[in-house]
Amino acid sequence: MNYKKLKKARVIISLLFFALTASLFLDIYERYANDTVHEILFLQFVPSLMKFISSLAIGAIGFLIIIAISAFVGRFYCSAICPLGILQDIFSWIAKKRSSKKFFYKKKRAYPILRYSLLGLSAVALIFSFSSIITLLDPYSNFGRIMTYLLRPILVVANNGIAALLQQVEVYSLHPVKLVMAPWFIFLLTLATFITIGYMSYKRGRLFCNTICPVGTFLGLFSKISFLKIQFDVDNCTKCGKCIGECKSECIDLKNFSVDHSRCVDCFNCLAVCEDSALKLSTPGSKTTTQGDKSRRNAIATGAALLIGQKVLADIKPSKDTSKLIEEKRDHPVAPPGALSIERFNDICTGCGLCVAACPTQVLQPAVMQYGLKGMMQPHMDYISSGYCNFDCRGCGQICPTGAILPISIEEKQITQLGKAVFVKENCVVYTDGTDCGACSEHCPTKAVNMVPYEGNLLIPEVDQSICIGCGACEHPCPLDAPYKAIYVNGNAVHQAAEKPKEEEQTTAPVEEDFPF
Amino acid sequence: MKRRDFLRTGIGASLLSGALPLFGGLESINGMPTTSSYDIAAVRGGNGADMFDRAIEAIGGMSKYVKPGQKVVVKPNIGWDAPPERAANTNPEVVARIVKRCKEAGASEVYVFDNTCNKWDRCYRNSGIEDAVKAEGGKMVPGNTESLYKEVDIPNGVSLKKAKVHKMILESDVFINVPVMKHHSSTRISLAMKNLMGVVWDRKFYHSNDLHQCIADFCTFKKPDLNIIDGYNMMTKNGPRGVSVADVTNLKALIASTDIVAADAAATKMFGLQPDEIGHIKIGHEMKLGNMNLEELSISKQKMA
C-alpha cells in the first residue's frame, strides 16, 4: 500500500468534512444549510446518537457506521470526520511548521483514569438525561459553538463592512446582516474552551481527544480491537524515531515496538513518514506485543466542577419611571417549536448552536440559566432582545441534527403553542400615557392580540390565549423595556395545540359607492 | 400646459395607453382637464398597474415628477412575510409599473426599500416585490440595519424631534410613497402617512411617544413628491398583518396625489370612515401638512371597464 497516498486521502477527506461542517454554521445568507445539513452531519457521532435515542430514527444510524469503521480500521472518525479534531490538527500543523525541533512530538503516557472517568460520566449523564455533561464534552457541539458564537460574528462584521463599502458605489449584491452576540457568559465560556483546546493541540496534538473527549475514548475501545491496526515490522525498523515525531497522539512506543491503538486517531502520518517500511496497516499478528491496559474500569469521577455557572444579566436600564409598573412573572422559558416539551428538549439537545446560526430572525439564543443548569447553552426563544418567531418558518426543526427540535410541518408549527401571551394593562402606554400604540397587535399573526375600544377613541390590547401560539411577535415590539413589558410570553412546559383562528368569509368593500367623496 | 407639452413630446408610446381614456370617452366625471391637473386622482375597476397609469396621467404624467437623470426612491409597504393576495404589502404589479414609468421618464436609478416588520429578505421575496422590481430594472435596497440610517433633526416636530432616516430618502431626488390600503389595529388604518414609518429606524419611539403625533411630525421633515395608494386589494380587518385572505376585499381602487393628507383623506373614505376620525390625518391637516377637506380639492374620478 502506498501510505503517502493514504495520508493524502485522509487529509483531503478531513478538509472536505471540515469545510462542509463549518459552512453550515457560517451560512449567513441562508442559502443552503437547511437543504444539506442532514447529509453533511449524518456521520457526526453525538448528534446521530442523540437522534437515534430520542426518536429511534432509522435514518440516524451514522454513529453505528462510525463504530463499525472504528472496529474495522480504528478511529478514522477522529481524524477525518470530527470537525473539532480537524480544527486541532490545523493548530498542530501550524505549531509544527513554526517549530525548529527535529522531532516535534514525544511519546507520552496515557491518562486512563481521567479519560475513562469522563467517558463513564458521559454515559451516566446520557442514561440519566443530564445533558449538560454531553453539551460540555461533545466535540461536535463544542465545534458548533466555536463557529456560531466566535467565528460567525467575525464573519458578519466582515460582511457588513464590505457591504457598506459596496453601497458607497451603489452595489447592493451583498447586504448587511444583523449582528447578534451570544450572552456574555456563553461567549466567554466558548472562548475559554476554544483557547484551552487550541492551546492543548498547539502544544501536544490530540491531547484533548485522548484525555477529555468521551467520543474519542469510546471509539478507542473499538480501535483497540480493530481488524486493521498500525503495527511494527520489527525487522525493518531502524529506530530512527521519525514516526514518534509525527505522532499527534503521542502513542507510539519504540522501546516495545507498540502503538497504543486506543489513542491512535488514524492520521497515518507515521506510515507516510516511515522510509524503512517498518510500519504497516494490517491485521494483528506477528511480532508485536501489545501492552495490556490496566485501567479498564470506568471509574465515575466525582466533583464535576466544570459547571460553575453564574447568571449574567444584561444591564437593563428602563428609560421610563418604572415605580408603578409591574414586573413580569414567567413560569417557564420558551422552547423552540418542535421541542414538544422543555423536559424532553433539555434531555436531548447538546447545544451545538446550529439552530441559533440558522434562525432567520435570530430569536433563538443560547440560554444561560433560563432552563436551569441542565439546559445551559441550549437555545431558547429570546423575545426581549433578539426578535420573534417568524410565523411561516420552521427552520430550527429542519436543521436540528439531534432531534431535540423535531421537524414539524408548517401547518403544525402554526398551531403549536410555545407559551401564552400575558397582557399587563398597568404597563401599557395606552393606559399610562393615554395614546394609541398597538405594536403588539400589529405583529400578532393570529390576532390573538386584538385591539378593543378603550377610553374615547383609544384602543387597547386584549389577548385570546386559545389562539395564541406564543411566538413573541407581541412581546418583541412592545415599546416598554423588560422586565416591565406590557405583554410577554409565559412559556409552556409542555407545548400545547392552539386553536386555529376562526376562518371568516371573505370581506366585501366597506362602502358601496365607487367614489365616496 | 404640462399635459400638452407632454403629449407633444410624446415620451413613449406605452404611456399613450394611460392617456387613452382622455380620448376614449370613458367616464371622467369632472370632464377633461385642459391646462391644469387635478389635486387627487382616484381610479376604480382596473388592475393595479393600469389604474396607476390612469391616475398619474390625471395628475400631470410621470414626467412632471421624474426628470431625466434623477435618482428615484420608491417606498412601498413590504412590511410582512405574506404573499400578494393577502394585501399585507403593496401590490407588486403597482410597484413594478411605477418603476417602469420612472425608468421611461429617464430616471437614472430607481431604488425600492422598506424597513420591514418581519425578516426583511423574506418580505422582499414573498411579497413578490423583489422580483417585480428587478424585472423592470429597479434596485432593491436593504433597510434592515441601523447603519443604513442617518439621524436627522425634525425641528417642527411636536413629539418626534429626531429620527434616524434611511439614507435613500435623504439622498434621492424623487421620493414616491406607495402604501397599500389597510386596516390597522393601532392607527385604525394604514395609508400614505403611516407608510412613512417604514423609512425610519426606531419605530418603538413612535409607539411610546404619541403614535399619531409622531406620524404627522415626520411629514414636517419630508413629504413624498408623490403618493400612490394601492387599493387593488384592500385589507379591511385584522390589519396591518392580516391573518388570511378572508381579511381582504378586491376593491380595485387606486388614489394618487402630491398631497399626502388629501390622498389619505380620500382613501379613508373608502373604509367608510371620516378623515378627522384618524388621529394622524387630523393632526396632519391641523399642522397644515396637507388638506383633508376633499370638497376643497379637485378630484379626477375615473372608472375603468
The per-residue pLDDT for A320 is 60
Nearest to A443 by CA among A468, A410, A411: A468
Query: Which of B144, B212, B243 lies nearest to residue A176, judging by beta carbons?
Result: B144
Residue with cell 386553536: A499
DSSP SS3 for A341: strand
Which positions in chain A touch B187 (Cβ < 8 Å)? 436, 438
Q: Identify the domain boundary among A215, A247, A282.
A: A282
Which positions in chain B touch A505 (Cβ < 8 Å)? 246
Which positions in chain B touch A438 (Cβ < 8 Å)? 184-187, 207, 211
Average pLDDT of the residues in A89-110: 93
Helix (H) or strand (E) holding B50: helix B48-58
Q: Same domain for A417 and A483?
A: yes
Q: CB contact, 8 Å: B238 with chain A?
A: yes
Q: Same domain for A271 and A317?
A: no
- Of the spans A29-38, A281-290, B86-95, B141-150, which averages the highest pLDDT? B86-95
Burial of residue A342 (number of CB atoms within 10 Å: 0-12, 13-18, 19+):
buried
The per-residue pLDDT for A15 is 97
- With respect to residue A303, please indicate whether it lies within any of the assigned structural domains: no
Distance between CA A379 and CA A180 in Å, rounded?
A: 14
- With respect to residue A505, please indicate whether it lies within any of the assigned structural domains: no
Nearest to B78 by CA among B117, B52, B135, B134: B117
Q: Same domain for A349 and A266?
A: no
Q: CB contact, 8 Å: A172 with chain B?
A: yes
pLDDT at A120 over 90: yes
Q: Which three cell numbers mark A102?
A: 527535529
Q: Same domain for A255 and A318?
A: no
Q: Same domain for A216 and A181?
A: yes
Nearest to A338 by CA among A420, A421, A399, A422: A399
Q: CB contact, 8 Å: A446 with chain B?
A: yes
DSSP assignment of A392-445: T--HHHHH-SSSSS----HHHHTTEEEEEEEE-GGG-HHHHT-S---HHHHH-S
The per-residue pLDDT for A285 is 63
Distance from CA of A175 to the nearest CA of B (A): 7
Q: Give residues 309 to 348 of A whose Cβ lies within 8 Å of B.
A: 320
pLDDT at A377 over 80: yes
pLDDT category, B27, cuts 50, 70, 90? very low
pLDDT category, A214, cuts 50, 70, 90? very high
- The ipTM of this complex is 0.83
Provide, rounded to the nearest whole percent, the portion of chain A with pLDDT above 70.
93
pLDDT at B6 over 50: no
The per-residue pLDDT for A111 is 94
Range in A142-156, A292-306, B264-278 with the lowest mean pLDDT? A292-306
**Where exactly are the structural domains of chain B?**
24-303
The per-residue pLDDT for A391 is 95
Range in A307-311, A394-398, B4-8 with the lowest mean pLDDT? A307-311
Global pTM value: 0.86
Q: CB contact, 8 Å: B228 with chain A?
A: no
Report CA-CA distances (Å) from A27 to A353, A435, A442: 13, 43, 31
DSSP SS3 for A202: helix
**Mean of per-residue pLDDT scores for chain B:** 90
Q: Which three cell numbers mark A206?
A: 490530540
pLDDT category, B31, cuts 50, 70, 90? very low
Average pLDDT of the residues in B75-85: 97
Average pLDDT of the residues in A342-347: 95
Q: Do A30 and B42 touch (CB under 8 A)?
A: no
Q: Same domain for A114 and A190?
A: yes
Q: Same domain for A334 and A482?
A: yes
For residue A464, give its domain range.
309-497
Selected for mutation to probe chain A from B243, B274, B300 (highest A CB count within 10 Å) is: B243
pLDDT category, A252, cuts 50, 70, 90? very high
Provide, rounded to the nearest whole percent, the portion of chain B with pLDDT above 70.
88
Q: Same domain for A67 and A150?
A: yes
The per-residue pLDDT for A58 is 73
Average pLDDT of the residues in A385-399: 93
pLDDT at A222 over 60: yes
Distance between CA A270 and CA A277 in Å, rounded?
A: 11
The per-residue pLDDT for A167 is 86
Beta strands (DSSP E) in A212-336 are: 229-232, 252-253, 258-259, 279-282
Q: CB contact, 8 Å: A362 with chain B?
A: no
Q: Same domain for A258 and A153?
A: yes
Please give the angle made by the CA atoms of A393, A398 and A400, to the nearest 5 degrees: 120
Q: CB contact, 8 Å: A390 with chain B?
A: yes
pLDDT category, B36, cuts 50, 70, 90? low
Average pLDDT of the residues in A146-173: 93
Q: Same domain for A342 and A441?
A: yes
Q: Same domain for A270 and A313?
A: no
pLDDT at B7 over 60: no
Query: Which of A30, A438, A445 lies nearest to residue B185, judging by beta carbons?
Result: A438
Which of A311 and A348 is assigned the larger pLDDT? A348
Query: Which of A390, A433, A447 lies nearest to residue B122, judging by beta carbons?
Result: A390
Q: Which three cell numbers mark A264?
A: 491512535
Q: For B193-206, write each residue's pLDDT tens digit.
A: 999 999 999 999 99
- With respect to residue A327, please indicate whether it lies within any of the assigned structural domains: yes
Average pLDDT of the residues in A51-79: 90
Range in A64-68, A289-293, B252-256, B292-296 with the lowest mean pLDDT? A289-293
Q: CB contact, 8 Å: B164 with chain A?
A: no
**Chain B nearest-CA residue for A388:** B118
The per-residue pLDDT for B21 is 42
- With respect to residue A434, please indicate whether it lies within any of the assigned structural domains: yes
Please provide the CATH number assigned to the domain covering B24-303.
3.40.50.11440
Query: Which of A438, A446, A516 lies nearest to residue B186, judging by beta carbons?
Result: A438
- With respect to residue A61, please indicate whether it lies within any of the assigned structural domains: yes
The domain that holds A405 is classified in CATH as: 3.30.70.20
Q: Same domain for A203 and A343?
A: no
Nearest to A37 by CA among A337, A407, A336: A407
Residue B87: partners with Cβ closer than 8 Å, 6 or more residues away: B180, B181, B182, B233, B234, B235, B242, B247, B248
- With respect to residue A302, please indicate whether it lies within any of the assigned structural domains: no
The total number of structural domains in chain A stands at 2
Q: DSSP class of residue B200?
A: B
Which of A186 and A129 is assigned the larger pLDDT? A186
Q: Identify the domain boundary among A267, A282, A297.
A: A282
The per-residue pLDDT for B16 is 41
